[in-house]
């Protein structure tokens, strides 16, 4: 099958992301910590690891200096003959210096590595953000924005959490275990090292086993939290609709149902945590008692000193202190991996619409648009367009009319290449839209959509979005052309007026005029008017129609309309019915046919 003829119906594999293992998540994270060509970042990583090792080296020397001081004090030497042995200043000063160095090296490690951590979070978040914008419209229509934003937010924060817990807790603890085990073996015998290592190994095994079981419960809790957040945001975004139908109680019940699922999962999570903590406490207690008993027995046998007993006890306390939070740390790592997995899963979602390899930029030469045998279906079981053939000559206007569901708005989505055709092709000046870059294609097209959604920012920002960086004179010009300049100037904050979430502070007509001004500022060679005046009253519609006719002059224009009065001046009018062209011709010719267009025209004239 040729690339241009591949089916574009819904393929679940295109939007369903594959599950990632912990190893795959870590492999995806590694390039952010060790980026190619970033010598400065790599140097920071190496330096941080060196300071980590130095901090642990200083830390494990603390009990040795402590032992020396204790042994000196318990020798009972005559203070008058050798007072420096009675007050072991050298051991005390070395003890204090080792503690200070351990703290200082640790702080230096944190300070140096912070740039690595923050950069990893920034670059990962940016990559996910860019990938989400590169995914198809189908993906975004099937995902809930609230849940999606929560996944990205938690995933980026999880990077910092993972790095701080693994690099600054797990790795130092493992290094310290190895050092302490070796020191105990060297200073005493293999029994001390074996019991210490066995206790630590048993502790870690138990923690990992129970935490893996708890992870499944935790995943259920995260899923419930995501669903609750998505329901809350979706409900609040549709605040007016909730009020229109008096469904506040219904929305509260839906939200509470999601919260109850989170509540049950949270209770199970806490119960499993209690089981984990009790088991860990038992393992640590057994290990401490065993090692201390062996040390005490050595003192009784005259083989060890009081300083040795203190040394062993200090090492155990020093070693088991980080182990006490190992369960928390490991759980944090697993949670971070789970949250990062969800974020990286988004990066694994295939792009349904992609640029061809080495695709050139579109080179508009007038803007002729040709639909050649175009077929399309959002779902293969329900075809929308069935072999459309028509051409919009450069600089001409073609209007497409027809009943709801005929496939009119689908034309604009295919022209913008939000979807690829199932069969046939769409060409601009002879260039197949699938063979050029999406960026250049969309730069050549401007649209005034039927449902205008604005950013929660100022009027200035929303109009200037058509060409970021435009000067005020250009903004005034397009606002005047869209019949909205006087309205803006009459506002208390003028151009700096906030439009609210999705533009809800503006009326439908005001939002539509902002959209028209925004598109006029873009100044594209191809223009799409998708029910562009549907939200306007009759008087304002006539004014805007004049502005749109001026804007369309010299441009290739596709008008998608329901009101036939808005398309009477089109060079050609196409009547769509069930995805096929039923009639085509000028307004006068279609009326003379006495067919579907004439009937629809008569019906609308009666309603005026």
Task: Using DSSP bridges, classify how beta strands 526-530 and 445-448 pair: parallel, antiparallel or unpaired.
Answer: parallel
Task: Please state, in angstroms and as integers, the Cα–Cα distance from residue 481 to each residue in 469, 473, 478, 520, following that order.
Answer: 19, 12, 5, 8
pLDDT single digits (tens) 135-180? 877 787 777 666 677 788 888 888 888 887 776 777 788 888 888 8
Instruction: Kindly report which listed range (22-36, 88-102, 143-157) carries the lowest average pLDDT score.
Output: 143-157
All domains in the chain, ordered by first residue: 18-348 (1.20.1560.10), 356-444+527-608 (3.40.50.300), 451-523 (3.40.50.300)
CB 172 within 8 A of CB 60: no
Instruction: Please tell me the number of Cα atoms within 13 Å of 116 on its side-chain side.
Output: 29
> Average of pLDDT values for 181-202?
85
Site of tokens 């790095």: 163
Give the SS3 label for residue 174.
Answer: helix
The rounded percent of the chain whose pLDDT value lies above 90 is 18
The answer, yes or no, to whether residue 113 has pLDDT greater than 60, is yes
Report d(CA 562, CA 575) in Å as an integer.
11
Structure tokens at 427: 């060409």
> What does the DSSP assignment read for 495-551?
GG-B--GGGTTS-HHHHHHHHHHHHHHH--SEEEEESTTTTS-HHHHHHHHHHHHHH
- Which residue's structure tokens are 């072991």? 88
Q: Which residues pair with 401 in a beta bridge?
A: 575
Token output for 450: 């039927």
Lowest pLDDT segment from 155-159, 423-427, 493-497: 155-159
SS3 448: strand
**How many Å apart are CA 90 and CA 111, to the nearest integer?**
31
Average pLDDT over residues 71-79: 63
**What mean pLDDT is predicted for residues 25-36?**
84
| Residue 401 near residue 428 (C-beta atoms within 8 A) | no
pLDDT band at 424 (very low <50, low <70, confident <90, very high): very high
Contacts of 459 (CB under 8 A, 6+ apart): 488, 491, 495, 496, 497, 499, 514
> In this predicted model, what pLDDT tens digit does every residue of 564-579 receive, in sequence order?
888 888 899 999 988 8
- pLDDT at residue number 8: 42
37 pLDDT more than 60? yes
Return the pLDDT at 440. Answer: 93
Q: Which of 338, 328, 335 is nearest to 173 (CA)?
A: 328
Edge-first strand listing for the sheet containing 369-376 = 385-392, 369-376, 423-428, 431-432
Mean pLDDT of 100-121: 89
pLDDT at residue 144, rounded to an integer: 61
Q: What is the radius of gyration, based on Cα positions, of the chain?
A: 35
On the question of pLDDT at 594 being above 60, the answer is: yes
Nearest Cα residue to 346 out of 519, 505, 166, 126: 126
Query: What is the SS3 assignment for 426?
Result: strand
Distance CA 448, CA 566 (A): 14
Summarised one tens digit per residue, pLDDT across range 426-449 is 999 999 999 999 999 999 999 888
Compare 107 and 328 and report the one with higher pLDDT: 107
pLDDT of 78 over the 50 cut: no
Q: Check residues 159 and 20 and name the one with the higher pLDDT.
A: 159
The pLDDT assigned to 77 comes to 47
Q: How far apart are CA 166 and CA 150, in angstroms?
A: 23
- Give 390's DSSP letter: E
**pLDDT value, residue 535:** 58
Confidence (pLDDT) at 6:
41
C-alpha to C-alpha distance for 21 and 345, rounded to whole angstroms: 11
Task: Indicate if the pLDDT at residue 1 is higher than 50.
Answer: no
| DSSP three-state, residue 450 | coil
CB 465 within 8 A of CB 518: yes
Q: What is the mean pLDDT of the chain?
A: 83
- Taking residues 102-116, report their average pLDDT: 89
pLDDT in tens, 359-390: 999 998 888 999 999 999 888 888 889 889 99
The Cα-based distances of 15 to 224, 349, 378, 381, 383 in angstroms read 21, 6, 14, 18, 20
Residue 455 pLDDT greater than 50, yes or no: yes
């Amino acid at each position: 099958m040729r690339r241009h003829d591949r089916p574009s119906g819904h393929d679940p594999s295109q939007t369903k992301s594959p599950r990632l293992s912990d190893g795959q998540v870590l492999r995806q994270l590694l390039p952010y910590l060790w980026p190619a060509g970033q010598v400065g970042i790599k140097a920071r990583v190496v330096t941080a690891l060196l300071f980590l090792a130095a901090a642990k080296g200083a830390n494990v020397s603390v009990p040795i200096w402590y032992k020396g001081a204790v042994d000196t004090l318990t020798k009972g030497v005559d203070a008058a003959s050798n007072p420096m042995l009675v007050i072991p200043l050298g051991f005390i000063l070395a003890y204090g210096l080792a503690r200070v160095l351990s703290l200082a090296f640790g702080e230096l490690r944190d300070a140096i590595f912070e740039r690595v951590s923050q950069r990893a979070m920034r670059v990962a978040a940016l990559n996910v953000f860019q990938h989400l914008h590169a995914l198809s419209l189908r993906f975004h229509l099937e995902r809930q924005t609230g849940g999606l934003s929560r996944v990205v937010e938690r995933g980026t924060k999880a990077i910092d959490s993972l790095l701080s817990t693994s690099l600054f807790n797990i790795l130092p603890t493992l290094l310290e275990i190895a050092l302490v085990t070796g020191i105990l073996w060297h200073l005493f015998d293999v029994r001390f090292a074996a019991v210490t290592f066995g206790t630590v190994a048993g502790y870690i095994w138990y923690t990992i086993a129970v935490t893996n079981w708890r992870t499944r419960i935790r995943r259920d809790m995260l899923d419930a939290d995501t669903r609750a957040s998505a329901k809350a945001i979706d409900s609040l975004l549709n605040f007016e609709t909730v009020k229109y139908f008096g469904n506040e109680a219904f929305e509260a019940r839906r939200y509470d149902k999601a919260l109850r699922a989170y509540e049950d999962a949270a209770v199970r999570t806490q119960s499993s945590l209690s089981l984990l903590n009790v088991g860990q406490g038992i393992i640590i207690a057994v290990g401490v008692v065993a090692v201390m008993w062996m040390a005490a027995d050595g003192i009784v046998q005259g083989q060890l000193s009081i300083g040795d007993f203190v040394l062993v006890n200090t090492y155990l306390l020093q070693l088991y202190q980080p182990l006490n939070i190992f369960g928390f740390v490991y759980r944090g790592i697993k949670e971070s991996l789970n949250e990062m997995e969800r974020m990286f899963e988004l990066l694994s979602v295939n792009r349904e619409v992609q640029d061809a390899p080495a695709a050139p930029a579109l080179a508009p030469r007038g803007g002729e648009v040709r639909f050649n045998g175009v077929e399309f279906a959002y779902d293969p079981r329900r075809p929308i367009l069935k072999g459309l053939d028509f051409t919009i000559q450069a600089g001409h206007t073609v209007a497409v009319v027809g009943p709801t569901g005929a496939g009119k708005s689908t034309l604009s989505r295919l022209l913008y290449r939000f979807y690829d055709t199932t069969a046939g092709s769409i060409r601009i000046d002879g260039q197949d839209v699938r063979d050029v870059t999406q960026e250049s294609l969309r730069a050549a097209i401007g649209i005034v959509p039927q449902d205008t959604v604005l950013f929660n920012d100022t009027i200035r920002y929303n109009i200037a979005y058509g060409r970021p960086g435009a000067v005020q004179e250009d903004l005034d010009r397009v606002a005047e052309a869209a019949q909205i300049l006087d309205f803006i100037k009459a506002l208390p904050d003028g151009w700096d007026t906030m439009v609210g979430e999705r533009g809800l502070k503006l009326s439908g007509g005001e939002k539509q005029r902002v959209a028209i001004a925004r598109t006029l500022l873009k100044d594209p060679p191809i223009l799409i008017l998708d029910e562009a005046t549907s939200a306007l009253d009759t008087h304002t519609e006539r004014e805007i129609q004049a502005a749109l006719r001026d804007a369309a002059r010299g441009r290739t224009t596709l008008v998608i309309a329901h009101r036939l009065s808005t398309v009477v001046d089109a060079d050609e009018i196409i009547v769509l019915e069930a995805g096929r062209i039923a009639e085509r011709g000028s307004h006068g010719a279609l009326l003379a046919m006495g067919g579907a267009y004439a009937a629809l025209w008569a019906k609308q004239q009666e309603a005026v």
